[in-house]
Amino acid sequence: MAEQAGLPGGVDARTPTDARVYDYALGGKDNYAVDRVLAHRILSVAPEARNLAAENNRFARRAVRHLRAAGVRQFLDIGCGLPKRVNVHDLAGPEARVVYIDYDPVAVTHYEATLSGGSSAAVVHADARHPEQILRDPVVAGMIDFDRPVALLFTFLLHVIDDEEHPARIVRRFRDAVVPGSHLVISHATFEGKTPEAVEAVEDIFAELRESLTLRGREAITGFFDGFELLEPGLVLAPEWRPDRPYRTPSGWLLAGVGRKS
């Protein structure tokens, strides 16, 4: 494949990744033909998912704005993916501290370029499946004061961590590291309201990604908020979480919520 030629080590343009498919869905340029083909295959079986990435992106923006208004000034964006047009540090304000975490070297490289010259945000190359590695990282320790409230962002991440990798345990470890007044932000793909045929078709396509998909129901996703009080309106379809403008009919594929540790 011509796209593979000249790429940095560790970058494979022949295997689609969820981050690059997501980037393409948002109209980005950091994706390859294999990612675009897979995105269109998903739409062929679930056309209502066309706005899924935008739903997630808008929810995340609203959540960060809410947290800023609530006085939160520290953010761990775990599984950040590729930079967007507007990122957490753009919304959180210059006095906030933001650390982006991702295991994809391409995402890390892009954030390093985006953050060059700034001191209020940083990026760490680490895997969300290993919370201790992240919590002990010197960049995280230098940027984040765990004696003050922290926002833990798990947007569009936990559904690519399968049950055998214990996503609830991962979230609990981060929960236990933060003080009361900290917040947990989650958006997660769901099977609720979808036909078994549609769910199977989507999961089969995602199986070709480096990160496969585990759709979960409302009960399982709510369980990730153990130890946090879900803020109103609770766990809802992403466009319905405190909308600030009219929105299209939700895709139905994404549940989202924000919780506060008391």
The total number of residues written for the chain in this structure: 262
Q: Quote the CA–CA distance of 43 and 170 in Å, as a whole number.
A: 31
Return left, alpha or beta for 117; rule: phi > 0 is left, psi -120 to 50 is alpha, else beta: left
pLDDT in tens, 220-256: 999 999 999 999 999 999 999 999 999 989 999 999 9
Please write the tens of the pLDDT for every residue from 68-119.
999 999 999 999 999 999 999 999 988 999 999 999 898 999 999 999 766 7
Q: What would the DSSP string read from start to end of 19-45?
A: HHHHHHHTT-SS--HHHHHHHHHHHHH
Determine the residue type at 22: Y
Nearest to 126 by CA among 189, 96, 170: 170
| Max CA separation in the chain (angstroms) | 53
Domains of the chain, by residue range, sit at: 53-193+216-261
The number of C-alpha atoms within 13 Å of 37 and in the hemisphere containing its C-beta is: 9
User: Which residue has tokens 């199986």?
Assistant: 207
Q: What is the mean pLDDT of the chain?
A: 91
Higher pLDDT residue, 130 or 28? 130
What's the confidence (pLDDT) of residue 10? Answer: 57
Q: Do 120 and 153 touch, CB atoms closer than 8 A?
A: no
pTM score over 0.85: yes
Q: How far apart are CA 86 and CA 66, in angstroms?
A: 16
For 150, the token pair is 């922290």
Structure tokens at 242: 């405190």
102 beta partners: 125
Domain 53-193+216-261 falls under CATH 3.40.50.150: yes
Give the per-residue pLDDT at 5. Answer: 45
Q: Residue 30: pLDDT band by 50, 70, 90 thresholds?
A: confident
